[in-house]
Amino acid sequence: MENELKTITPAEVEKLLKEGKNISIIDVRENEEVEAGKIPEAKHIRLMEIPDRLNEIEKDEEHIMVCRSGRRSENAGYFLQEQGYIVKNMVGGMLEWDGQTK
Protein backbone atom coordinates (compact mmCIF):
# COMPACT_ATOMS: atom_id res chain seq x y z
CA MET A 1 0.00 0.00 0.00
CA GLU A 2 1.38 3.38 -0.93
CA ASN A 3 -0.34 5.20 1.93
CA GLU A 4 0.38 3.37 5.15
CA LEU A 5 -2.58 3.28 7.50
CA LYS A 6 -1.97 5.08 10.80
CA THR A 7 -2.54 3.05 13.94
CA ILE A 8 -3.54 3.75 17.52
CA THR A 9 -3.42 1.43 20.52
CA PRO A 10 -6.47 0.56 22.63
CA ALA A 11 -4.76 2.25 25.60
CA GLU A 12 -4.34 5.47 23.58
CA VAL A 13 -8.01 5.38 22.55
CA GLU A 14 -9.05 4.88 26.17
CA LYS A 15 -6.86 7.82 27.24
CA LEU A 16 -8.49 10.10 24.62
CA LEU A 17 -11.94 9.10 25.88
CA LYS A 18 -10.93 9.63 29.53
CA GLU A 19 -9.66 13.10 28.60
CA GLY A 20 -13.10 13.81 27.16
CA LYS A 21 -11.83 14.18 23.59
CA ASN A 22 -14.56 14.09 21.00
CA ILE A 23 -13.37 11.23 18.84
CA SER A 24 -15.15 9.13 16.26
CA ILE A 25 -14.86 5.37 16.75
CA ILE A 26 -16.38 3.03 14.18
CA ASP A 27 -16.86 -0.62 15.14
CA VAL A 28 -17.01 -2.81 12.01
CA ARG A 29 -17.78 -6.12 13.73
CA GLU A 30 -20.88 -8.25 13.18
CA ASN A 31 -24.05 -7.63 15.19
CA GLU A 32 -23.60 -10.59 17.55
CA GLU A 33 -20.02 -9.52 18.33
CA VAL A 34 -21.16 -6.01 19.18
CA GLU A 35 -23.96 -7.35 21.39
CA ALA A 36 -21.26 -9.00 23.51
CA GLY A 37 -19.92 -5.51 24.25
CA LYS A 38 -18.58 -2.48 22.41
CA ILE A 39 -16.88 0.77 23.33
CA PRO A 40 -19.84 2.92 24.48
CA GLU A 41 -18.84 5.86 22.25
CA ALA A 42 -18.38 3.70 19.15
CA LYS A 43 -20.73 3.82 16.18
CA HIS A 44 -21.52 0.37 14.80
CA ILE A 45 -21.27 0.02 11.02
CA ARG A 46 -20.68 -3.55 9.88
CA LEU A 47 -17.72 -3.95 7.53
CA MET A 48 -19.94 -5.00 4.62
CA GLU A 49 -22.19 -1.95 5.13
CA ILE A 50 -19.46 0.69 5.03
CA PRO A 51 -19.64 1.38 1.26
CA ASP A 52 -23.42 1.94 1.54
CA ARG A 53 -23.18 4.10 4.66
CA LEU A 54 -20.40 6.52 3.74
CA ASN A 55 -22.90 9.37 4.14
CA GLU A 56 -22.92 8.63 7.90
CA ILE A 57 -19.14 9.06 8.17
CA GLU A 58 -17.89 12.65 8.43
CA LYS A 59 -15.25 13.50 5.83
CA ASP A 60 -13.56 16.23 7.88
CA GLU A 61 -12.97 14.36 11.13
CA GLU A 62 -10.65 11.54 12.05
CA HIS A 63 -12.15 8.10 12.62
CA ILE A 64 -10.74 5.22 14.65
CA MET A 65 -11.64 1.85 13.18
CA VAL A 66 -12.26 -1.07 15.55
CA CYS A 67 -12.96 -4.79 15.17
CA ARG A 68 -12.19 -7.94 17.18
CA SER A 69 -8.47 -8.24 16.44
CA GLY A 70 -7.62 -5.32 14.14
CA ARG A 71 -7.73 -7.13 10.77
CA ARG A 72 -11.19 -6.18 9.49
CA SER A 73 -10.83 -2.66 10.82
CA GLU A 74 -7.55 -2.38 8.92
CA ASN A 75 -9.35 -3.35 5.70
CA ALA A 76 -12.09 -0.82 6.45
CA GLY A 77 -9.45 1.80 7.21
CA TYR A 78 -7.67 1.32 3.90
CA PHE A 79 -10.99 1.45 2.05
CA LEU A 80 -12.03 4.70 3.77
CA GLN A 81 -8.57 6.20 3.31
CA GLU A 82 -8.87 5.53 -0.44
CA GLN A 83 -12.18 7.42 -0.37
CA GLY A 84 -10.41 10.42 1.16
CA TYR A 85 -11.24 9.86 4.83
CA ILE A 86 -8.84 10.40 7.75
CA VAL A 87 -8.61 7.12 9.65
CA LYS A 88 -6.57 5.18 12.17
CA ASN A 89 -6.77 1.48 12.93
CA MET A 90 -7.00 0.37 16.57
CA VAL A 91 -4.37 -2.36 16.64
CA GLY A 92 -5.21 -5.48 18.61
CA GLY A 93 -8.90 -4.65 18.40
CA MET A 94 -11.40 -5.46 21.14
CA LEU A 95 -9.24 -8.41 22.24
CA GLU A 96 -6.82 -5.80 23.65
CA TRP A 97 -9.46 -3.38 24.93
CA ASP A 98 -9.41 -2.95 28.72
CA GLY A 99 -11.76 0.02 28.88
CA GLN A 100 -15.49 0.15 29.41
CA THR A 101 -17.91 -1.68 27.17
CA LYS A 102 -21.66 -1.63 27.07
Annotated catalytic, 67? yes
Q: CA–CA separation, 11 vs 32, rounded Å?
A: 24
As a dihedral over the C-alpha atoms of residue 9, residue 15, residue 79, residue 43, rounded to 10 degrees, the angle is: 130
Candidates 13, 7, 45; CA nearest to 29 is 45
Catalytically annotated residue among 25, 26, 39, 67: 67
Looking at the annotation, which residues are catalytic? 67
